[in-house]
Structures are given as C-alpha cells and as structure tokens.
Amino acid sequence: MSLDVIKFAINRITDTNPKLGFPRKESELAELCGETITPDGISGEKAFALFRDVLIKASVPINHPRHLAFVPASPTRSAVMFDLVTSAANVHGAFWLEGAGCIFAENQAMKWLVSLTGMPKGAFGVFTSGGTEANLSAMVAARENWRAADESKRSVRGIVIAAISAHSSVRAMAKVIDVDVVSVQTEDRFEAAQLEAALAGLTPDERSRVFAVIASGGTTNAGIIDDLDGISRICRRENFWFHVDAAYGGGALAAISVRHLFKGIENADSVTIDPHKWLFSPYDCGAVLYRDPEQAKRAHAQEGSYLDIFSDEGAKGFNPSDYQIQLTRRMRGLPLWFSLAMHGTNRYTKAIERGIELAKIAGRLITGAPHLGLVREPSLSCVLFRRFGWKAEDYRNWTYRNHKSGFALVAPTKVRHGSEFETVARFCFINPDTTEEDIKAILETML
C-alpha cells in the first residue's frame, strides 16, 4: 500500500499535463465514498483507492498548463519533492532550539527575497501560510508600533488607507484587527496624488487615526503596480507605516524586464510576497518582510512560562514565531530553499520572465482576433480582455464548458467603469510550460 502511495506521488510530481479535475456535489462524493471514518478503519488500500479514483478527480491540479484562472501556481518538481521530505523530517518550525538547521535554510531563501526588494540592511522576514497571514501580521506590527510611539493611541481605533484594487484580504484582515479602511477609489494605478487627496478629505480626527497605507505590488485582478515611490514618500513625511502587498507580483522582482516598476518598494516598512504564487513553491508558503524586524517582534513575540527556554542564552537564535501570528508551524520555506539551491536564482528569473512574455503573446493574439479586444495592456502576467458581444452569462458558460470538458480552467472577472461593472475574461500566467498553442486553443473556444 505505502508503495502505491509513493508511486502515485512520484507520478504526480513528474506529470506535467495532469487531468483537469472538476468539482462534484458533496452528495455525489458522499455516495461514491460512503463513510470513510469508522471505529475500525476502512484500510489504507480502500482509502487510497477512493482518493485516487474519486477524490483527486474532483480536485483541480493548479499547475495544469491551461489553468489560467485566479492566480494559478506551478511549483517546481524539486520543491514538491522536498515538500515530502519536509513532512518526513518532522521539524517544529517555531523556535531555533528545535529547528535551527532547517530555519537556517529557510533564512537563506529569505535573504534572497529581501535582496530582491532592495530593503536596507537589517531588513528580514519570515515565511507564513500565505498572503493573508502576511498582511495580517504586517498590519498588527504596524498598529502596535503606532501605539507604542504614542500611548494616547492605546484605545483609539486605527485607520489604514488602501485602494479598492487592494486584495480582499486587506479588508478582511482589517476586520480581524478591528480597524477602519479608507478606500481610494481607483482600480487603476494608485498614485501619490490620490493619497494626498484622500488625506485632504479626512476630518482632523480621522487623520489622527491613520497609521498605515497599503499599496499593491501587482494587483491580483490586473497586475497593476501602484506608485510605490510616490506613496512611500508621503508615508515617510506623515510617519505612516508603508506596507506593500506583493503577494502575487512579488516574484516579478526577480524579472529584470519589470523590476523598475517596483521602484519605492525598498522604502516599505513591510512587504508581503507569496512564494506559492510566482516563486514556484507548493502550498502553503507566503512571506512577510520587515524593514525593522524588531518592530514586528515587539508585536508578535509570545510570552509564557513554557516558552521561556526559547529565549534563553543557550538556545538563542532566530525564532520564526516572533515575527508573525502563528506559533507552531511547519518548515514551509524549505521546499523553496531546496529548489532555489538546486536550480539557482537565474532559472527563477527565466521562468518568471516567461510568464510576462506569455501575457504579451496573449495580448498580441487577442489584438489580432476580430472577435476579441484588450481591456488594458497586459501588466505583469495578467491579461484582461473582452469577447465582443458577450454578456456575463456567456463568460460564465464559457468557463464551465472548458472546465467540464477537462480542457482548461479560465474564469471571468469584472472591471469597473464608474459605478458600472463589466464582466470580462482574464488570464494570469505563472506556469512556464504553458505554450502559445495553449493560448490560441483557449481563444478559439471564444469564437
């Protein structure tokens, strides 16, 4: 049985063209699987057979070359393989005392991430479960820092400023920490002048409650990079914490062709990057980077008599739990480390550039097709386009048609025109194995 499991894993790791799964209704799955949790167990053979024959077929392999919806992923084979090794190694990733060797390796990968941002010496970060947790951890650090600098803010409800194009997790995490969000009404590039206007529109009370500004280093919908430089200058002047959410776009910091668009990211107080998006790591692997990790530590380090030993002189070292909200954690940065160490960073640059190139190729094909038109020029690896004459339900049917037939998973999105929303099609390229033929074939399904 265990041999079957390992064989399946190896086949799946090396299969570059896996079958595109399609969700089934819960009732169907229940009928096909029956009750799997029983007092005596159903046996590994039976459970694995259900997984292989039913469950995995009702799940989407996110690295399918024609999966261009949402933000897809394409972990390297070496990273996925090392994910197995990471699990097998069973290392607790919260404290140096227990995880020193593995944390050292994670930190080597982190050092590279930090170097991509150009943040000053001393900047460092930690791997998180994803961009949501990274954004949350950064916002908590920002608010704690704001309150530590001025005791009178202790019971004051804070405000963060973000454009409406910011990722949904920004608003969701603002709820978690109970702060207000002032929204800058732009789905296009969030510019310094818009931040000035937003500030001018605040009452003196509101203004005194602002502690952070969040900008995107690649919006999730359109790949737009905000005016990081201009916004960072205002934050510096006003003493606001400047957070850059580059969960999706952060990988493109390694792409020479677009690196200049991120100018200003080096001034950030914190940055979110998801290696499980455009740095070819398996789920789940996000990262939060801080200009001054000590500020994060003051906000996040947990105290308890059972934890004292971890800060003892004899066990001292980098404790990942001090810099984000999670205590017990897996060594989720290890697969990235192994893959980076094996392939070298140049391979990463090449694979990321390919995603940007695929977006350009798609842009050309769309412009050349009479039934299609670009909504805006491709940005990073995102392409927004319309099928002339189609309504929202046509895009929806198109998505289901392609997914059900096992051909492709491509989903529509919406763009805003004033108070109106238009449904359009969207590609997001991550997988360097996606080909021009794949794109052509998908566009042909829109005839």
Ligand X SMILES: *Cc1c(COP(=O)(O)O)cnc(C)c1O
The residues that touch ligand X, with contacts defined as CB under 6 A, are: 71, 130-132, 135, 167, 169, 216, 220, 245, 247-248, 274, 286
Closer to ligand X by Cβ: residue 156 or 325: 325
Q: In angstroms, what is the minimal distance from the CB of 125 to ligand X?
A: 15
User: How far, in Å, CA of 165 to CA of 223, rounded?
Assistant: 10
Closer to ligand X by Cβ: residue 224 or 351: 224
Q: In angstroms, what is the minimal distance from the CB of 130 to ligand X?
A: 3
Type and span of the H or E element at 120: none
Q: Confirm if 89 and 331 have CB atoms less than 8 A apart.
A: yes
How do beta strands 372-374 and 382-387 pair? antiparallel
Q: Confirm if 187 and 165 have CB atoms less than 8 A apart.
A: yes
Closer to ligand X by Cβ: residue 245 or 322: 245
Closer to ligand X by Cβ: residue 106 or 387: 106
Residue type, 348: Y
User: How far, in Å, CA of 290 to CA of 138, rounded?
Assistant: 8
Q: In angstroms, what is the minimal distance from the CB of 248 to ligand X?
A: 3
Task: State residue 379 phi and psi, 5-degree precision.
Answer: -130, 130
Q: In angstroms, what is the minimal distance from the CB of 254 to ligand X?
A: 17
For the chain, the straight-line distance linking the first and the last C-alpha, in angstroms and rounded, comes to 47
Q: In angstroms, what is the minimal distance from the CB of 212 to ligand X?
A: 15
Closer to ligand X by Cβ: residue 83 or 245: 245
Closer to ligand X by Cβ: residue 95 or 248: 248
Question: Which residues 6+ apart lie within 8 Å of 444 measured at CB?
Answer: none
Question: Which residues 6+ apart lie within 8 Å of 97 measured at CB?
Answer: 309, 310, 315, 317
Q: How far is CA 405 from CA 21, 32, 45, 424, 429, in A?
A: 10, 21, 30, 21, 21
User: How far, in Å, CA of 213 to CA of 142, rounded?
Assistant: 10
Going by C-alpha positions, the residue among 386, 382, 380 that lies closest to residue 367 is 386
User: How far, in Å, CA of 373 to CA of 415, rounded?
Assistant: 14
User: How far, in Å, CA of 356 to CA of 361, rounded?
Assistant: 9
User: How far, in Å, CA of 216 to CA of 184, rounded?
Assistant: 12
What's the CA angle centered on 421, arms 415 and 427, to 5 degrees? 30
Closer to ligand X by Cβ: residue 248 or 348: 248
Q: In angstroms, what is the minimal distance from the CB of 285 to ligand X?
A: 9
Q: In angstroms, what is the minimal distance from the CB of 330 to ligand X?
A: 15
Closer to ligand X by Cβ: residue 95 or 135: 135
Q: In angstroms, what is the minimal distance from the CB of 119 to ligand X?
A: 18
Closer to ligand X by Cβ: residue 225 or 372: 225
User: How far, in Å, CA of 215 to CA of 237, rounded?
Assistant: 16
Q: In angstroms, what is the minimal distance from the CB of 97 to ligand X?
A: 28
Closer to ligand X by Cβ: residue 65 or 131: 131
Closer to ligand X by Cβ: residue 135 or 194: 135
Strand partners for 53: none
Q: In angstroms, what is the minimal distance from the CB of 155 to ligand X?
A: 29
Q: Confirm if 230 and 191 have CB atoms less than 8 A apart.
A: yes
Going by C-alpha positions, the residue among 71, 50, 56 that lies closest to residue 21 is 56
Q: In angstroms, what is the minimal distance from the CB of 183 to ligand X?
A: 16
